[in-house]
Amino acid sequence: MSDTHGPIPSVVDRVKPVTAGAPVFGVHFLKDRAVFALGEETLLFVAADGSEQRIRTHAGGILAAVSDGTRIVTAGDDGKVVATNATGETEMLATDAKHRWIDRVALGPDGAVAWSAGKQAFMRKAKGEVKLLDLPSSAGGLAFSPKGLRVAIAHYGGVTLWFPNAQATPETFAWKGSHLDVMFSPDGRFLVSSMQEPTLHGWRLADAKDMRMSGYSAKVRSMAWMADGKWLATSGSEQLILWPFGGKDGPMGKQPRMLAPYSKRAVAVACHPKQEIVAVGFEDGLIMLCRIEDGAEILAKKPGTAPVSAMAWSADGAKLAFGTEDGEAGIADLA
């Protein structure tokens, strides 16, 4: 959003504020309730009528919160991985034997869960034994492949592809540097990792060809796929950066689309589940909705006192929930 534009359309008045009472670091919708993961201990469920339910899931900081739509799985500095369902019931999925912090968790098909602690990656199926993989360095973010039971794990020096159920040795895609998080493209053809440097790296799995996506002004802390996998929306610059993944070469040799330019850095992105619209959160608390087709922008939240730290669309795309590092939170009803 150029500051010299005239007033742009706004849905700010359609936002119902939520008094989180604590910094918000994650948000997901479970059925018709928005669930805010607070910095410490608590998941805050907020219904359409504004009624709240607070569920204590960890005895300390909540370091990760992911969801598959039916449950939210959180991990914390108490060394535990906990699942909470739509009615607020919790189930302990894992406890780290060495009480290590768990700050990365991923959900896979059929209730599979993976997490990392220290130099190890762990995976268990819905009801199953825990499998573990030792890595040469600290295990970072994880991701399940869209098909088959494979888990990608980011670490120093590259990304390792693990087949927990098979005898096959894990395959490592090497690239020097610290890889923080990793994602598969929805069609499973590409792996993308965010790095300590202001750059993304990736591999085309078919031939392990390296891909570099660079030009960012800062680390990419948020990435999200457009529902069909055609675009990868990313933060880390003073605008929304979208990489094209449609063709057989993915982003290789292509320029990204750059939309929603602003004077501050984008720090969070969330893609609409059906339409080609991306919610972009900035470091001053501003949230813009940006339509990919023509770059049209809609203001969803005015700048505040802290960076946007979490955003999520409801499954039907009618609502957008958000939170900031300061605890400012709300749910926009866009129906």
Partner 1 sequence: MPETAEKIPVTVLTGYLGAGKTTLLNRILSEPHGKKYAVIVNEFGEIGIDNDLIVGADEEVFEMNNGCICCTVRGDLIRIIDGLMRRKGKFDAIIVETTGLADPAPVAQTFFVDENVGNKTKLDAVVTVADAKWLRDRLKDAPEAKNQIAFADVILINKTDLVSDAELRETEARIRGINPYARLHRTQRAQIPLNEVLDRKAFDLERILDIEPAFLEADDHDHDHHHGHDHHHDHGHSHSHGGLKHYHDEEMQSISLSSDQPLDPDKFFPFIQNLTQAEGPNILRCKGIVALKDDPQRFVFQGVHMMLEGDHQREWREDEKRTSRVVFIGRNLPEEKIRKGFESTVATY
Binding site for partner 1 (CB under 8 A): 23, 25, 39-40, 60-63, 77, 98-101, 103, 118-119, 137-138, 140, 156, 176-178, 195-197, 218-219, 283-284, 305-307, 326
Say if CB 106 and CB 66 are below 8 A apart: yes
Q: Which is nearer to partner 1, 164 or 307 (CB)?
A: 307
Q: Where are the beta strands (DSSP E) in 68-208?
A: 71-76, 80-85, 90-95, 104-107, 113-117, 120-124, 130-134, 142-144, 151-162, 171-184, 190-195, 199-204
Q: Residue 183: name the closest of 158, 212, 154 by CA.
A: 154
Closest distance to partner 1 from the beta carbon of 156 (Å) = 5
Rounded CA separation 172/177 (Å): 14
Closest distance to partner 1 from the beta carbon of 85 (Å) = 23
> The tokens 């799985």 sit on which residue?
73
Say if CB 309 and CB 23 are below 8 A apart: yes
Which letter does DSSP use for residue 255 in this model?
P
Q: Residue 50: name the closest of 300, 334, 330 by CA.
A: 330
Q: Which is nearer to partner 1, 25 or 36 (CB)?
A: 25
Q: Which is nearer to partner 1, 61 or 69 (CB)?
A: 61
Residues 6 or more apart from 335 whose CB is under 8 A from it? 318, 319
Closest distance to partner 1 from the beta carbon of 139 (Å) = 10
Q: Residue 62: name the closest of 80, 45, 41, 87 by CA.
A: 41
Closest distance to partner 1 from the beta carbon of 242 (Å) = 23
Q: Residue 287: name the closest of 257, 318, 310, 316 by CA.
A: 310
Closest distance to partner 1 from the beta carbon of 173 (Å) = 16
Rounded CA separation 25/103 (Å): 12
Q: Which is nearer to partner 1, 135 or 226 (CB)?
A: 135
Q: Which is nearer to partner 1, 101 or 163 (CB)?
A: 101
Closest distance to partner 1 from the beta carbon of 310 (Å) = 12
Closest distance to partner 1 from the beta carbon of 264 (Å) = 8
Give the phi and the psi of residue 13 in degrees, each rounded to 5: -75, -5
Closest distance to partner 1 from the beta carbon of 146 (Å) = 27
Instruction: Look up residue 223 and give its two tokens.
Output: 């990435």
Say if CB 301 and CB 311 are below 8 A apart: no
Give the phi and the psi of residue 111 in degrees, each rounded to 5: 75, 15
Q: Which is nearer to partner 1, 227 or 306 (CB)?
A: 306
Q: Which is nearer to partner 1, 147 or 176 (CB)?
A: 176
Q: Which is nearer to partner 1, 70 or 214 (CB)?
A: 214
Say if CB 242 and CB 235 are below 8 A apart: no
